[in-house]
Amino acid sequence: MKFAVVVNEGPYTHQASDSALQFVKAALDKGHEIFRVFFYHDGVNNGTRLTVPPQDDRNLQRAWSEIALTRNVDLVVCIAAAQRRGILDANEAKRQGKDADNIAPGFRISGLGQLIEAGIEADRVVVFGD
């Protein structure tokens, strides 16, 4: 089965990101395909490389980056939600006149069209968070 996953909550404010990550890992381990993970609303905070959790806490940004890079999972951060929360890739930072970017490895910024495409291409869309 081909899944699309939507994450609507930040990494340390709600269980949604943890649950989505575990779902993605389990689905891949069972041989399913993850077409795309789309981070929306506060979920875009999963995509900042500047997260520094305490050493004894989980690092969700790193875990998401690892799954993107090792399992070839497409991680898309909604551009509008990201801009509102100060998350920029190099191109968007330049376009907005900012002197730095902070998108984490394995993540990319794009628009809601990527969510629509995921809904069309996937057999099921699973949403985590409100």
11, 52 Cβ separation under 8 angstroms: no
65, 105 Cβ separation under 8 angstroms: yes
Please name the amino acid found at residue 127.
V
Smallest Cα–Cα separation from 61: which of 88, 43, 74, 86?
Answer: 43
CATH number at residue 106: 3.40.1260.10
Which segment of 34-38, 56-60, 77-81 scores lowest on mean pLDDT? Answer: 56-60
Rounded CA gap, 6 and 17, in Å?
10
Could you give the residue numbers annotated as active site? 78
Domain carrying residue 68: 2-128
pLDDT tens for residues 10-55?
Answer: 998 889 999 999 999 999 999 999 999 999 999 999 999 999 999 9
Rounded CA gap, 34 and 46, in Å?
18
> Is pTM beyond 0.75 here?
yes
Q: Give the total number of structural domains in the chain.
A: 1
Strand pairing partners for 7?
39, 128
